[in-house]
Amino acid sequence: MQQLTSFAADYTRYVLKGGTKFYAWMGSLAVLIIGMMYVFYLQNTEGLIVTGMTSQIHDGLYFANLVFLVGVAAGAVTIVFPAYVYHHEGMHKVTVLGEMLAISAVIMVTMFVFAHMGRPDRLWHMIPLIGIYNFPHSMLGWDVLVLTGYLILNAICGFYYLWVKYTGGEINRKFFMPLVYISIVWALSIHTVTAFLIATMPARPMWFHGMMPIRFIATAFAAGPCLIILAFLIVRRNTKMWVEDSAIDLLSTIVTWCLGIALFLTMSEVVVELYARTEHANGLYYLMFGLHGLTALVPWFWSSIVLMVASFVLFLIPAVRKNYKLLPIPCVMAFAGIWIEKGMGLIVPGFVPTPIGEVTEYYPTFVEWLLTLGIWAFGFFILTILLKGAIGILQGEIKYGAAK
């Protein structure tokens, strides 16, 4: 118990120390978090009427970010798998950083669930054995189950590893490795189940096909590593911890292949849906060209395609992929392109037109944008704390029994 108390105290003491850049970064995030708390209060007192969602389009910016961040969380397996299955030395040294990213992403997913449900008291029915938890019939029930399990697995694996490093002990591989292998398989399940959450709706033709889980996994293993690469480059530049080039190069290769597969699947869907041009293709047609003069999502779709294709081309060029000054450019482009594709380019057009043929458009309000930015800020706030403490332990700056 004394070691546990010391671990918590030393970890907290270390992450609270920093320079001007650290405090400026955390202060900026705190401002957005305060704004988030205000609009969340506004939304819970006045209702979802303050958002742009309607009876026709009841999944908007919140659900879009939820779906995207599940993929980011699953993308952490691109570090864990090479490290423990293929024994990649460069990846093994930074595996715990990927687990910290997964924890932060799942926390953000949970917050978007809070925002999307409108009233926090409704979450009572998402708790097994207490509320009316419609399991196994509800796909949302499955989604809650796998996300909770993934959060617990990463928290146990990540903090157990840090605990062993902190105390100077040896890892109990009989306990640790089975959890690692389970978390690898579990990472695939979270985005697969999220895909099933929308792909099992026959009334939404744009989602109702078996290719949806494959698209989700492909984009997850592109967007997740992009964010990890950016985090690694920031860590190399601002801390004493050195992330090996081999780890970044492997992640870049994974992004290249998965982004290419995602683009291929998107183009295949365009050909299949528009070749016959039935009423079932109206959602995709609206997204690409507009429908009945309504074109709000058309710029989102084409900007996503341009960003993803341009970043894919840049990743194919070794002079860009292996140049760590230029590498952030395609990473940001791919990350933004997939964010659009998973949100405004997938969730919203699935409701247009409605099953009875109504065509209506959706515009996120200021409340939605500020709440979304605040949740992302909170996620990066948590991620900064987790990464800073983890790096301190890995670098030996936080040790049990060390002089304070």
Place of tokens 């799942």: 106
At 241 the pLDDT is: 85
Residue 3 CA, chain-centre distance (Å), reads: 33
Q: Mean pLDDT throughout 139-144?
A: 80
Q: Mean pLDDT throughout 292-315?
A: 92
- In eight-state DSSP terms, residue 50 is G
pTM here is 0.92
Within a domain: 399: no
Within a domain: 400: no
Percent of the chain exceeding pLDDT 90 equals 46
Confidence band (pLDDT; 50, 70, 90) for 291? Answer: confident
Within a domain: 401: no
At 128 the pLDDT is: 66
At 75 the pLDDT is: 87
Verify cis geometry, omega within 30 degrees of 0, for the bond prior to 330. Answer: no
Within a domain: 206: yes
- Cβ proximity of 255 and 230 under 8 Å: no
- Cβ proximity of 196 and 48 under 8 Å: no
401 vs 352 pLDDT, higher one: 352
Q: Mean pLDDT throughout 152-160?
A: 93
Q: Mean pLDDT throughout 67-96?
A: 89
- Phi then psi for 297, rounded to 5 degrees? -95, -5
Domain extent for 379 = 2-394
What does the alpha-carbon distance between residue 79 and residue 248 come to, in Å, rounded to a whole number? Answer: 10
Within a domain: 34: yes
Q: Mean pLDDT throughout 122-148?
A: 75
Q: Mean pLDDT throughout 160-174?
A: 89
pLDDT higher than threshold 80 for residue 51: yes
Q: Mean pLDDT throughout 155-165?
A: 92
Residue 136 CA, chain-centre distance (Å), reads: 25
**CATH number assigned to the domain comprising residue 261:** 1.20.1630.10
Mean pLDDT across the chain: 88
Within a domain: 404: no
Residue 201 CA, chain-centre distance (Å), reads: 23
Confidence band (pLDDT; 50, 70, 90) for 240? Answer: confident
C-alpha to C-alpha distances, 356 to 197, 256, 293, 352, nearest whole angstrom: 21, 40, 19, 10
> For the chain, what is the domain count?
1
At 402 the pLDDT is: 61
Close Cβ partners of 118 (under 8 Å, ≥ 6 residues apart): 43, 44, 47, 48
At 313 the pLDDT is: 96
Within a domain: 403: no
Confidence band (pLDDT; 50, 70, 90) for 401? Answer: low
Q: What is the 3-state secondary structure (H, E, C) of the chain?
A: CHHHHHHHHHHHHHHCCCCHHHHHHHHHHHHHHHHHHHHHHHHHHHCHHHCCCCCCCCCCHHHHHHHHHHHHHHCCHHHHHHHHCCCCHHHHCCHHHHHHHHHHHHHHHHHHHHHHHCCHHHHHHHCCCCCCCCCCCCHHHHHHHHHHHHHHHHHHHHHHHHHHHHHCCCCCHHHHHHHHHHHHHHHHHHHHHHHHHHHCCCCCCCCCCCCHHHHHHHHHHHHHHHHHHHHHHHHHHHCCCCCCHHHHHHHHHHHHHHHHHHHHHHHHHHHHHHHHCCHHHHHHHHHHHCECCECCCHHHHHHHHHHHHHHHHHHHCHHHHCCCCCCHHHHHHHHHHHHHHHCCCCCHHHHCCCCCCCCCCCCCCHHHHHHHHHHHHHHHHHHHHHHHHHHHHHCCCCCCCCCC
**Encoded amino acid at 402, one letter:** A
pLDDT higher than threshold 70 for residue 1: no
At 226 the pLDDT is: 94
At 204 the pLDDT is: 86
174-210 pLDDT tens trace: 999 999 999 999 988 898 888 888 888 888 888 888 8
- Cβ proximity of 70 and 223 under 8 Å: no
3-state class (DSSP) for residue 100: helix
Q: String of b and e for 9-42 (b: at least 16 CB within 10 Å)?
A: ebbeebbeeeeeeeeeebeebeebbeebeebbee
Residue 143 CA, chain-centre distance (Å), reads: 14
At 239 the pLDDT is: 82
What does the alpha-carbon distance between residue 53 and residue 59 come to, in Å, rounded to a whole number? Answer: 7
- Phi then psi for 291, rounded to 5 degrees? -145, 125
Within a domain: 402: no
Q: Mean pLDDT throughout 299-311?
A: 94
**Which range has the worst mean pLDDT, 191-200, 367-376, 395-404?**
395-404
At 102 the pLDDT is: 93
Confidence band (pLDDT; 50, 70, 90) for 42? Answer: very high
3-state class (DSSP) for residue 352: coil
121 vs 157 pLDDT, higher one: 157
Confidence band (pLDDT; 50, 70, 90) for 48? Answer: confident
